[in-house]
Structure 1
Amino acid sequence: MYDSIIIGGGHAGVEAALSLAKMNKKTLLITGNLDKVASLPCNPSIGGPAKGVVVREIDALGGIQGKASDEGQIQMKLLNASKGPAVRAYRAQLDKVKYPKIVLRYLKQQEGLDLLEEFVDKLIIEDNEVKGVLLENGEKIFSKTVIITTGTYLRSAILRGLTKTESGPDGDKTTKGISGQLKEHGLEVIRLKTGTPMRLDKKTIDFSQFVVQPGDPEKYTFSHDPSYFNENAPKENCYLLHTTEETHNLIRNNLALSSMYSGIVEGVGPRYCPSIEDKIVKFSEQPRHQIFLEPESIYWDEVYVQGLSTSFPEDIQDKILKTIPGIANARVMKYGYAIEYDAINPLELNPNLETKKIKNLFCAGQINGTSGYEEAAAQGLMAGINAGLKVSNEEPFILKRDEAYIGVMIDDLVTKGIDDPYRLLTSRAEYRLFIRNDNADLRLTEYGYKFGVVSDKEYEMFNNKKAKFEELINNVKEFYVMPNEENNEYLVNRDSARIFEKISLFNLLKRPEINKDDIKYFLGNKFDEDIYEQIEIQVKYEGYINKARKEAEKVLKLENKKIPNDVNYDHISNLSYEAREKLKRVLPKSIGQASRIMGVNATDISLLILYIESRRNINGF
């Protein structure tokens, strides 16, 4: 018997499988095609605002998405570099051919992990507890836990024009049995939709018409171990272009031929990644929309047309291209399409990503209503760790909102549910000044090592970094800049005010114009760049961070007020009807979580606290 079976080899599945195996749990990953593990069926990129921070968090916790991205990147950027550290994030263009091969290598090298190319027909469930899986060939495989990471493959259908075809992405086989079973056991199954644009032959594109979008020259890495970066990897450019008035008129005149506007779409599409049809309709005042051409691989000629996601029939897609200079004569290698699929309402999940109604069954990725490779990988990692902890009868691992974007995402999902595919945004994180791109390892590596997902080698590297950080911060605090002519001349050249008494380098660094380069000037350049960056951010934003920390501590008090599992919300007098129904649906674990449920107001929270405290008094607590 296995400790855990993972259904699906996408970004969620591989992280779940690897984390469990690293925790010394006997693990089986089942997927239809091992050559397509962690494939990139849509955008050939990893990272972006908030998402790039998640990849850093995955790496800090022992996951492999960041390492594989560093190996497979063909372009890397630091987004929002001119803005504050709370909104900075990495984004990489990946080689779509190379990346799955890199991930498969990690899977094959991992001890304690079995890989099986098969299709799961159904779950084996007895007395509302999962016991294993039934394969399409009739074989039964038993396990203590099961993690569903089926992505967009649950009863999926491809939509293009007025045609709907039963299929997974890129014509792959879809899975039918599981979502029906989940319904039978009382889980709310919902229908969602996403889409992808056409791919063009780069040999037929006139790139001279576009604005070149190169990567950054700096050596940026998602992983906190820079050795995964491929110095010799070729670097590719992206390109910026725009739709035209002719494009918009063509789309408006043919809306009835789009799957989205013809009435055949059942699923709800992503609010933050709309199709070109949606953009033209919902943002009709805009004279043009951005399009980015992104290379998919150095090994083939396909170019991804970001911004032209569509469900129009092929002939209309051809006509759209004719309206845009530079790609008017481009040859389409793959036409765009919409895809709809089954998912569950994430209110069906506990914060450890175990379903409330089926014991030992965990879900991760797009089945939970999310969108994006990064969100999926993060959920897979957390589901894997929690499945391993469940097997060992240990307490679940729940990240708080002030600890990680991963904590923000999971709390949003299990507390608020979704109306459309969830996308992680910087604005969702109220403590984004804590959970930055630069400090993911300082926040999370201790957890990863505690659960056995971070290796001894990685932990040693982390401790060495911490020691160097402590050494440098102490040096910055203890070093005093004297008010001599040489130092004042240096400061004036840095457009900084002269000093008339000695000042610690720590306090000097608080000046807006003084930065990490000045630390190097006074103390010498003997540490890695990320150490200097970390010092600069912590010193400059010390006041803001301390203020935000005090606010977070107030909220944390509510998180520490646990709600007993046997609370009967029908017994709480004067609770509003909406609050009562929402609390019964979500079953929050703490007062803090209850306070974030939409429809539960401050009065309801006060009544809930009074009820819990009165019960404790009656029972002698």
Structure 2
Amino acid sequence: MFEKKYDVIVVGAGHAGSEAAAAAANMGSSTLLITMNLQNIAQMSCNPAMGGIAKGQIVREIDAMGGYSGLVSDSSAIQFKMLNKSKGPAMWSPRVQSDRMRFAEDWRMRLEKTPNLDFYQEMVAGLIIKNGKIKGVRTSLGLEVLADTVICTNGTFLNGLIHIGDKQFGGGRAGERAATGITKDLIEAGFEAGRMKTGTPPRVDGRSLDYSKMIEQPGDEKPAKFSFSDETRPLTTQRSCYMTYTSNEVHEILKEGFDRSPMFNGRIKSIGPRYCPSIEDKINRFADKDRHQLFVEPEGWNTVEVYVNGFSTSLPEDIQFKALRSVDGFDKVKFFRPGYAIEYDYFPPTQLKHTLETKLVEGLYFAGQINGTTGYEEAACQGLMAGINAALKVQVREEFILKRNEAYIGVLIDDLITKGTQEPYRMFTSRAEYRTLLRQDNADFRLTEKSFKLGLASEERLRKMEEKREKANSFVDFLKDLSVDHNEANVVLEEKNSSPMKQSDKVFKVFSRPEINMEDVRRFSGVEEYITRNELNEEMLEQTEIQIKYSGYIQKEKNNADKLNRLEDIKIPHNFDYSKIKSMSFEAREKLKKVQPTSISHASRISGVSPNDISVLLVYMGR
């Protein structure tokens, strides 16, 4: 059946696997995507949404890198919101509510149209490893498929165990069996494995809900979109979500099931995501709170199925049902299915290189929840990077790594490789020390040129980005040169309670005031005429405003990044013997030996390695 040897085999077709397969195939590598069920490609296992705080930045980065997540999110969106608009632009994060069925369908259609990509439906039951190198995979039917590289994106399927109350059964997702065999092969190859947990809430029938008792949550009045390309368009109509609350009555009902909760009776021993706790965990940890928010999210344009965000649980189904019936608007609720928790195998990511290739087995890559992350966006960007680097390895080209000051993707991977994770890792803006540089609006400026050189972004994408940057920069220069009469400016300044001008000044200086925005500046003579003549769109105007208002912060972060990047240039030889450095702390020697950092900058970010240890290392290296 498989006469040829593939360049890349991708195991699993979730968000990580789909992006990995697309990237490798689009870079010209012969790629095979193997999954247990081709009907569930890019399935949204949990909430029907993409983006959010820091996650939206990742989706825009994936899009700028030539991935599909942004395009699919736009084409399947039913609502768009830009979160954190009340804060500075470093915090703005796009999010879409998605049509779950359209999302998966669009992903499959795009993959089927991708050249160099083959598909096969079966469980991968083992890996073929010889002399420390990957040679291919073995399926449950005993077929051996050979490849130069293999990317494992197994999600929650590796020895997956589903919990609902005191019931438990094997499965990788509701209604789907678990995957077995791969963990055993990896442990035999010397890998360290662990267990993690995640959960999902009940799905309910929207026709049984009373939305008049809830608070409507509409989308933005002027919705934007994820993709920088012209292939997609912003929404013209949107579906609302709704918000309601739990109560003390609901909490008391939930407590009735605590003795049968796998979280509290010891059945679940692994750690779940701290920042997305189950409802029973919330009321246990935050006993002082008499209510918690629930977001009622439609699963699509036409379906009546509803996702109850905030009510993730593994309590017995009868307790789930009884408790939800006591929530405002849910008094007649009908279930589609109860919530559940799932435990699964993962492999601590300190066993990987920054390319996501494993240190122990050459040509083997891990991406997604197998690395201890949680979230579609976190998985998708890892898949993209693993797919890129697997293709580059086969093509004998230089590896591709994004730095912490270049992308949230770089922050995520560096955190995983350098620090590891003891709980499901989720991205936040607070994890990025250069978040003013890593805004959602400039992902195309940061990454399109890199993607083009890899062979992913089209020439049209590159040209569009360059035009946007050139026009925004030219507009900034224009505003630096343009003067505004103080009488004209004071009309606007008075409306904004801003101190009046005593003499004419440059528009740039007026614009720098925090209370003045682009709409105000467009009222000054000559500005609107320039915008019309040069055909500046909203994205270009937004770039101009951010450059003017935040230029000082941006320059400061660039300077800090440059300082740290100089340490990145000081490389540490492979298999460096840290045991010889007796003046370094024992903990530092052990951590450095385990992680095997590639540079001084990398070493400085490892937990347990102090500035003094770095100084000793620099002295030892003759620096």
Superposed pair shares fold, TM > 0.5: yes
Question: Does 2:616 correspond to 1:607?
Answer: yes
1:534 is the counterpart of 2:525: no
Does the CA contact (< 8 Å) of 2:209 and 2:330 recur in 1?
Answer: yes
CA-CA distance at 1:121 after TM superposition: 1.5
Of residues 109, 118, 123, the one that matches 1:105 is 109
CA contact 1:191–1:343 (8 Å) conserved in 2: yes
Task: Give the alignment of 1:589-608 within 5 angstroms.
Answer: 589-608=598-617
In structure 2, the CA distance between the partners of 1:226 and 1:495, relative to structure 1 (3 Å rule), is farther
For 1:66 and 1:451, the matched residues in 2 are separated by 19
CA contact (8 A) 1:476 1:519 kept: no
Deviation for aligned residue 1:416: 0.3
Partner of residue 13, structure 1: 17
The alpha-carbon deviation at position 570 of structure 1 amounts to 0.6
C-alpha contact 1:71 1:230 (8 A) present in aligned 2: no
Task: Name the structure 2 match of 1:315.
Answer: 318
Q: Please report how far the alpha carbon of residue 231 of structure 1 lies from its aligned counterpart in structure 2 after TM superposition.
A: 4.1
Q: Structure 2: which amino acid aligns with 1:10?
A: G
* CA offset digits 1:162-208 (Å, max 9, x no partner): 11101111221211011111111111111010000101111111111
Q: Provide the aligned length of Structure 1 versus Structure 2.
A: 612
TM-score under structure 1 normalisation? 0.96
Deviates more, 1:194-203 or 1:392-401: 392-401
Show the 5 A alignment for 1:328-407. Answer: 328-407=331-410
- Which residue of 1 is the match for residue 173 of structure 2? 169
Does structure 1 residue 195 correspond to structure 2 residue 199? yes
Indicate which of 541, 550, 556 corresponds to 2:559: 550
* 2:491 aligned residue (489, 492, 496): 489
TM-score, length of structure 2 as denominator length: 0.96
Alignment gaps of 5+ in structure 2:
none
- Amino acid of the residue matched to residue 305 of structure 1? V
Q: Distance in 2 between matches of 1:502 and 1:494?
A: 18
Q: 2:59 & 2:30 partners in 1: Cα distance?
A: 26
Contact 1:162 1:262 in 2 (8 A): no
Aligned to 1:72: 76
Compare 308-317 and 388-397 and name the one that shifted more: 388-397
The separation in 1 between residues aligned to 2:223 and 2:248, in whole angstroms, is 40
Equivalence for 2:119: 115
Compare 516-525 and 579-588 and name the one that shifted more: 516-525
1:38 partner letter: A
Match of 2:85 among 77, 81, 84: 81
Greater Cα shift, 386-395 or 423-432 = 386-395
Question: Does the aligned pair in 1 maintain the 2:476–2:548 contact within 8 Å?
Answer: no
CA distance in 1 between counterparts of 2:300 and 2:518 reads 37
**Which residue of 2 is the match for residue 181 of structure 1?**
185
Distance 2:181 2:342 in 1: 18
- Which residue number in structure 2 is paired with residue 472 of structure 1? 475
Provide the rounded CA distance (Å) in 2 between the counterparts of 1:354 and 1:486. Answer: 61
1:321·1:329 contact (CA, 8 Å) conserved in 2?
A: no
Is residue 276 of structure 2 the alignment partner of residue 273 of structure 1? yes
Corresponding residue number in structure 1 for 2:296: 293
Could you tell me how far apart the structure 2 residues matched to 1:506 and 1:390 are?
A: 48
Where 2:387 maps in the other structure, the secondary structure is helix
Counterpart AA for 1:554: K
Contact persistence 1:97–1:299 (CA under 8 A): no
Shift in Å at residue 28 of structure 1? 1.1
Per the TM alignment, residue 122 of structure 1 is displaced from its structure 2 partner at its CA by 1.0
1:153 and 2:157 matched: yes
The residue correspondences of 1:416-427 to structure 2 (distance < 5 A) are 416-427=419-430
Structure 1 residue 566, shift from structure 2 partner: 3.1
Question: What is the SS of the residue equivalent to 2:466?
Answer: helix
Q: C-alpha distance in 1, partners of 2:219/2:186?
A: 44
- Paired residue for 1:564, among 555, 564, 573? 573
Local SS of the residue matching 2:100: coil
Match of 2:514 among 512, 515, 523: 512
Find the counterpart in structure 1 of residue 307 from structure 2: 304
Choose which of 58, 63, 71 in structure 1 pairs with 2:62: 58
| Conserved? CA contact 1:201–1:302, under 8 Å | yes
Q: Which moved more, 1:462-471 or 1:369-378?
A: 462-471
Shift of 1:226: 4.5
Q: CA offsets per residue over residues 21-64 of structure 1, 9 Å max, x none?
A: 11111111111222211110101100110001100110111111
Q: Are positions 1:47 and 2:51 aligned together? A: yes
Residue in structure 2 matched with residue 503 of structure 1 by the alignment:
505
- Aligned residues of 1:194 and 1:270 also touching (Cα < 8 A): yes
* 1:574 equivalenced with 2:595 (yes/no): no
What is the identity, as a one-letter code, of the residue corresponding to 1:61?
M
Match of 1:619 in 2: none
Residue 258 of structure 1: aligned partner = 261
**Residue 224 (structure 2) aligns with:** 220
- 1:357 shift after superposition: 0.2
Give, in angstroms, the shift of residue 316 of structure 1.
1.1
Closer, same or farther in 2 for the Cα pair 1:487/1:262, shift >3 Å?
closer
Please give the alpha-carbon distance, in whole angstroms, between the structure 1 residues aligned to 2:585 and 2:13. Answer: 44
Aligned to 1:279, what secondary structure does the other structure show? helix
TM superposition shift of 1:610: 1.1
> Could you list the runs of 5+ residues in structure 1 that have no partner in the other structure?
615-621
| SS in structure 1 of the partner of residue 441 of structure 2 | coil
Q: Deviations over 1:345-386 (max 9, x none)?
A: 001110110000010000100111000000000001111111
- Aligned partners of 1:573 and 1:230: how far apart in 2? 60
The alpha carbon displacement at 1:456 in A equals 1.9
Q: Is the 8 A contact 2:53 2:428 kept in 1?
A: yes
**2:162·2:169 contact (CA, 8 Å) conserved in 1?**
yes
Q: Secondary structure at the match of 2:402?
A: coil
1:617 is aligned to: none
Q: Secondary structure at the match of 2:522?
A: helix
- Alpha-carbon distance, 1:473 to partner: 2.1
**Structure-2 separation of matches of 1:513 and 1:417:** 43
Q: What letter corresponds to residue 552 of structure 1 in structure 2?
A: A
